[in-house]
A = this chain, B = another copy of it.
């Protein structure tokens, strides 16, 4: 069998896997993992129930694959990497805008991860180790560079980073998942601006003489 044919077949195989994973993600976001049957996923993807098992070993294996496949880890680490050379203002604005965009673009994934991560401890471990710990550390280091060691003693910068992420995530969840946007529509720009403003003033703290020279 010629190489091309094989790679074509592989491409087809991969496309099918992706199709199934996409459908599953959508349905899980809607009704939850347990409330979505394999039959429903197959039907929605336009294949037979049995076909599903040619592409995934089990329903659980598909969940792992979906989480892995859609891992935001590289993107987010890249996002963090990009910030290193910027000013504090630019970096925070860039991070918040980037995070918000990521959340919006992966709305379904966010829903599924929020639901399923806490009961899949192994995945949660992986998430913490590979994304949260290094990401946090990188951002905390970046912050320390800009606000100075003195301020870093007043604030726990790791917690600060998580607080920043928490602000973005919580506002996103309430607006987009719980539907608070219907009660109080707010422009996306206002949201990121408010968060950045809060955080930048927050980390910098009340200006006193000793800080003046350090702040970016």
Q: Which of A50-58, A68-76, A163-171 contacts B (4 or more CB under 8 A)?
A: A163-171
Q: Is A204 an interface residue (CB 8 A)?
A: yes
Residues of B within 8 A of A149 (CB): none
**B31 to A119, Cβ gap below 8 A?**
yes
Q: Is A117 an interface residue (CB 8 A)?
A: yes
Cα-based distance from A13 to B115 in the complex (angstroms): 33
Residues of B within 8 A of A111 (CB): 118
Mask, A97-131, CB within 8 Å of B = 1, is: 00000000000000100110111010011011100
Q: How far is the CB of A157 from chain B (nearest CB, A)?
A: 8
Q: How many residues of A contact B (CB 8 A)?
A: 61
**A155 to B119, Cβ gap below 8 A?**
no
Query: Which of B119, B163, B177, B195 is A171 in contact with, Cβ under 8 Å?
Result: B163
Q: Is A142 an interface residue (CB 8 A)?
A: no
Cα-based distance from A93 to B128 in the complex (angstroms): 28
Q: Which of A176-204 contact B (CB under 8 A)?
A: 177-180, 183-184, 186, 190-191, 193-195, 197-204
Residues of B within 8 A of A170 (CB): 162-163, 165-167, 169-170
Closest 10 CB pairs of A and B: A166-B170, A34-B34, A198-B202, A202-B202, A163-B167, A166-B166, A159-B194, A156-B194, A166-B167, A201-B202
Task: Beyond A118-B177, A163-B194, A207-B207, list 11 extra A-B contacts (CB 8 Å).
Answer: A32-B34, A32-B119, A35-B119, A111-B118, A115-B118, A115-B119, A162-B171, A162-B174, A166-B168, A201-B202, A201-B205
